[in-house]
Amino acid sequence: MFQRKKDSNELRMCCDYCALNKKTVRNRYPLPLSADCFDKLAKAQVFSMLDLRNGYYQVWIDEGDVKKTTIVTRYGSFEFLVMLFGLCNAPTMFCTLMNDVLRPYLDSFVVAYLDDIVVFSDNMEDHENKYNTHPTRSTPNPLK
């Protein structure tokens, strides 16, 4: 189904994945407590925040699962190759992925909460060194 956006009047595709979500085995992911996140940031003086709101679209769906996302319209059949918001495990899959990528740095100078990442330090010089550390250089890159 296509609906018009209120602000720009352009068409937006809307998909109903209720049937697929009912058959999906839920991936249970415990959210970190916000109080614990704030405790880790208590002594820091310098902060940088990264919002990965579009990060879901960087996570590829396994080849065997692509056909499960197929939608049929009068214009043809379409399959999603990347994670989409309508799938029930999308947020938990993304959180798990971010924790796997950032694992060497979590709690030492990085806090990850859903799609937000905070890099924190005691001073600016330390912060620049930490901020420029590339986690994908030390771990295999799970993103395609």
pLDDT digits (tens, 9 = 90+) for 36-45: 888 888 888 9
pLDDT of residue 127: 83
Show the CA angle centred on residue 140, arms to residues 134 and 144, nearest 5°: 95
pLDDT digits (tens, 9 = 90+) for 46-85: 888 888 877 777 888 888 888 888 888 888 888 888 887 7
DSSP secondary structure letter of residue 26: P
- Mean predicted lDDT score pLDDT of the chain: 80
Give CA separation, 137 vs 39, 41, 86, in Å.
29, 25, 31
pLDDT of residue 129: 81
Residue 90 banded pLDDT, cuts 50, 70, 90:
confident
